[in-house]
Structure 1
């Protein structure tokens, strides 16, 4: 299969934008988590922490995919 560098660049650019959105969502969830903890909603805050962990895990995979696409 031929190397389609334009498609790889476009895909990497789109993934980069999604990754930026993911980081922004993580920051927002972190703020809400802090607020929930301060208000005594520990169970809900714990669920939010789990969501942030998932975002972090997936961010690493997305970053790796971006790197691979940019080096093809």
Structure 2
């Protein structure tokens, strides 16, 4: 496991924060859609799609960085 505050550790935490924010935003989207604002829901779902796509790239980059060994 990387040392605390190492680059891989820091990036892992940023990635975890991104996933947590994605989940929280999704909860808000569901609430807004239940209130009948489908257009706002669609707009936010578009942003969530981008977040999901970027999360995949971050995860792949993080895996490559960890495979390189200690920083």
- TM-score of the pair, normalised by structure 1: 0.83
Rg larger in 1 or in 2?
1
Query: For structure 2, which runs of at least 5 residues remain unmatched after alignment?
Result: none
Query: For structure 1, which runs of at least 5 residues remain unmatched after alignment?
Result: 1-5
Greater length-normalized contact order (CA 8 Å, ≥ 6 residues apart): 1
Q: How many residues align?
A: 65
Q: After superposition, what is the alpha-carbon deviation per residue over 1:27-71, rounded to whole angstroms, capped at 9, x for unaligned?
A: 111101001110011111111111111111010111011101111
- TM-score of the pair, normalised by structure 2: 0.84
